[in-house]
Amino acid sequence: MTMEIAVDPTGNVLTLKQGDDCMRFHAIWLRDNAQDAETRSPANGQRLIALRDIPRETRIASANIGEAGVELRFEPEDKTVVFNTGWLRAHAYDRSFQQSRGWVADDVECWDSSISDNVPTGTLPELESGGDALKSWLDGATRYGFAKVEGGPTEEGALFRVVDLFGYVRETNYGRLFEVRTEVNPTNLAYTGLGLQAHTDNPYRDPAPTIQVLYCLESTAEGGENMVVDGFACARRLQQENPEHFDVLANYCARFEYAGEDGVCLTSRRPLIELSPDGELIAIRFNNRSLATVTDIPFDKMDLWYAAYRRLGEIIDDPSMEVTFRLNPGEAFIVDNTRVLHARKAYSGTGKRWLQGCYADKDGLRSTRDAMCRKPAEAAE
Amino acid sequence: MTMEIAVDPTGNVLTLKQGDDCMRFHAIWLRDNAQDAETRSPANGQRLIALRDIPRETRIASANIGEAGVELRFEPEDKTVVFNTGWLRAHAYDRSFQQSRGWVADDVECWDSSISDNVPTGTLPELESGGDALKSWLDGATRYGFAKVEGGPTEEGALFRVVDLFGYVRETNYGRLFEVRTEVNPTNLAYTGLGLQAHTDNPYRDPAPTIQVLYCLESTAEGGENMVVDGFACARRLQQENPEHFDVLANYCARFEYAGEDGVCLTSRRPLIELSPDGELIAIRFNNRSLATVTDIPFDKMDLWYAAYRRLGEIIDDPSMEVTFRLNPGEAFIVDNTRVLHARKAYSGTGKRWLQGCYADKDGLRSTRDAMCRKPAEAAE
């Protein structure tokens, strides 16, 4: 089908029309997104100019469709740039923006206990060899916000091999790694045999670590099973049940605090449900142990906030939302700590349970996945 | 002045009145914030119970003021808890919430070039000895979002001693540290002699690193001065000039990308001006090199968005907003990368300019400062 091309009389708007399909682009957006070698470094893709280098009065002086794509000449620079029509289509912004509050990205799939038999899992040696096994594991970890690793060694520090698959350790006051086992004078309740309600780690940190790795070295104690819960699924269920509950948790900030060690006083002020300005669900913070005194909610909303917080907790505790598993030595799991809550059952003093944990960041995970996905596509162009 | 105490007939609301001063608290909030040893661990301050352990129908059955403070008995638990009245006053939420969009925290002070002679500065040995010198430097770094260090050694890796003052290195694909000097095949334009417009680092990372350290090892090249600009001050000036400009940058997400190395494809979708849900200014992202194609702004707002982005850039480039300095060997500066932009002037091929840089996180900085501030206060209680 032929594509029609038109520029409005001011030179400010380009219109491409193909049948019923119509896309408009602004001159300044087009110029700023030119992909030529003077605008973008061919070597590393970074933009070589700033907006201040593009005249404010930029307009499209002429527009043609040729073999190479859409050829535009910009004035007053007298600069000609060719845009690939597929690229323009992929980046079109002349569309409806009607996503409802709490939407999630396309590569995110909300889940409940029914995925228990389909947890993204790989063996450590297979994942370390890269290729499709790694790509599919990274893809699963991004989609579900958690994934398991099996077949690793029973060796201290082996959890770093899991991090090496996609990123870098985020060191904190807990160290590069922390030992999760019963301690005599625990600085944190995680280092006891107590059961822990599903939670996200370190909401008192800002930025909170976005990935947690827990790696099992010993597991002969009774109990101590791990559970994971999709915080996004819980927040959306809360929204379906009662939009006011969702809104009050998203519209006001809670506070979190941890000051359980000398020299440490970590505090943050963030909502339990975090949305981007255009309503994307981007993070959940939920941790009964470190929720501090909440003082940023007006008096006439506080009862509603507590009712919503209680209901969110009930949904999180609902067994139909959780995936339960028992880690054996040499097994690990990772969670997207901005989304997936983790819990553990209480365990007894008989036998031993020893995990090592560490933090990392999910931008590395997405980056590694996207670099693996993108390469063949670009090579094919 | 005597304090009057009252509980409403439902037992849901406690009222404390002292002269014209009136504070109301909800029963559930009070019970959740009890500071007794069954509710909070005396050892590490963490909450030992979850909201699910507190009955939904919790009410105040009796309330008295005594020597120790406000004594409340909660039903149906039949639990008595004493609240310090000073603590209640400090955490009162029955107040007006009328902060305007773009407010900043009390310990943040916006600045322009007029603070050039009052930059928080310490010598490395003095800061390493801790105490007041460190406390005041950390306080300045929090208040202004940047600070300088002098008197350090001209030794590779010395920048880690700056990080050790308050936190932990955030390792990334650029390494634990990165060399900022001219390279033959730069993966990043930072590794050239080009001038760089004021920017925040790595907005394509999510979470972006919240602290950057730049440490000078050699500086004989002509040019290469550093500039810093308070992004919060720039955003607020934009808002004063034109609230619509501020709003469009806060209400819609930009996109950022870096894929300049094999195996790396970092992308993010975040606004240039980030606000908390209750309007606190919490982050600025500004980087012409890594701004990707922006597609999340509706067609009828795109021109306004570009006009606002241009104006924000002009304010950032205004010399009256910037502090300029030249780092000598053994000198360093840190910036809060969520707030303060940094720039450098172009430098020539004659002579050498060699900085080492690394990332860290500001929660550690605030935590170290707060732990130093809090200790004497608590000991005095």
- CB contacts of A314 in chain B (<8 Å) are 52
pLDDT of residue A290: 96
CB contact under 8 A, A189 and B288: no
**Given a cut of 70, is residue B311 above it in pLDDT?**
yes
pLDDT digits (tens, 9 = 90+) for A44-81: 889 999 999 999 999 999 999 998 999 999 999 999 99
Element (H, E) at A369: helix A362-380
Q: Using DSSP, state whether A123 is helix, strand or coil.
A: strand
pLDDT band at A153 (very low <50, low <70, confident <90, very high): very high
Q: Which of B22, B54, B93, B368 to probe by mutation at the A interface, max A CB count within 10 Å? A: B93
Beta carbons of A288 and A202 less than 8 angstroms apart: no
Q: Which of A53, A166, A171, A187 to probe by mutation at the B interface, max B CB count within 10 Å? A: A171
Taking the CA of residue B371 and the nearest CA in chain A, the distance in Å comes to 5
Q: Specify the range with the lowest mean pLDDT, choosing from A230-239, A365-374, B237-246.
A: A365-374
**Tokens describing residue B120:** 């928080």
E strand residue ranges, B159-284: 169-170, 178-180, 196-199, 211-219, 226-230, 254-258, 266-270, 273-275, 281-284
pLDDT of residue B183: 74
pLDDT band at B131 (very low <50, low <70, confident <90, very high): very high
- CB contacts of B46 in chain A (<8 Å) are 188-189, 258, 260, 289-290
pLDDT of residue B376: 47
Pick the CATH number of A4-90 from 3.40.50.300, 3.30.2130.30, 3.30.2020.30, 1.20.1250.20: 3.30.2020.30
CB contact under 8 A, B46 and A207: no
CB contact under 8 A, A267 and B298: no
CA distance A357 to A211: 11
CA distance A210 to A172: 13
- CB contacts of B270 in chain A (<8 Å) are 276
Task: Please calculate the CA angle B178-B347-B353 and round it to the nearest 5 degrees.
Answer: 40
Instruction: Provide the number of CB pairs (under 8 Å) joining chain A to chain B.
Output: 248
Q: Which residue is closest to B210 within chain A, CA to CA?
A: A207
pLDDT digits (tens, 9 = 90+) for A290-344: 999 999 999 999 999 999 999 999 999 999 999 999 999 999 999 999 999 999 9
- CB contacts of B294 in chain A (<8 Å) are 29, 93
Task: Report how far apart, in Å, the C-alpha atoms of B115 and of each of B111, B147, B324 are.
Answer: 7, 12, 11
pLDDT band at B184 (very low <50, low <70, confident <90, very high): low
Sequence ranges of the domains in chain A? 4-90, 113-372
CA atoms within a 13 Å half-sphere pointing along the CA-CB vector of A228: 29
- CB contacts of A289 in chain B (<8 Å) are 46-48
**Given a cut of 80, is residue B80 above it in pLDDT?**
yes
pLDDT of residue A378: 44
Q: Which residue is closest to B309 within chain A, CA to CA?
A: A51
Task: Taking each helix axis as running N to C, give the angle between helix A243-251 and helix A299-317, from 0 to 180 degrees, rounded to the nearest 10.
Answer: 110
CB atoms within 10 A of CB A2: 8
CB-closest option in A260, A306, A371 to B44 = A260
Q: Tell me, what DSSP letter sits at residue A241?
A: H
- CB contacts of A260 in chain B (<8 Å) are 41, 43-46
What is the average per-residue pLDDT within B241-250? 98
CB contact under 8 A, A45 and B310: no
pLDDT of residue A375: 61
What is the average per-residue pLDDT within A83-92? 96
What is the average per-residue pLDDT within B60-89? 96
CB contact under 8 A, B367 and A266: yes
What is the average per-residue pLDDT within B64-82? 96
B153 burial type by CB count under 10 A (0-12 exposed, 13-18 middle, 19+ buried): middle
pLDDT digits (tens, 9 = 90+) for B31-52: 999 999 999 999 888 999 999 9
Average pLDDT of the residues of chain A: 94
pLDDT band at B347 (very low <50, low <70, confident <90, very high): confident
Q: Which residue is closest to A54 within chain B, CA to CA?
A: B310
CB contact under 8 A, A263 and B44: no
Q: Which residue is closest to B165 within chain A, CA to CA?
A: A263
Rg, chain A, Cα only = 25
Taking the CA of residue B352 and the nearest CA in chain A, the distance in Å comes to 23
Task: Taking each helix axis as running N to C, give the angle between helix A231-241 and helix A299-317, from 0 to 180 degrees, rounded to the nearest 10.
Answer: 120
Which numeric CATH code is attached to B113-372?
Answer: 3.60.130.10
**Given a cut of 60, is residue B108 above it in pLDDT?**
yes
**Given a cut of 60, is residue A379 above it in pLDDT?**
no
Q: Which of A22, A38, A41, A44 to probe by mutation at the B interface, max B CB count within 10 Å? A: A44
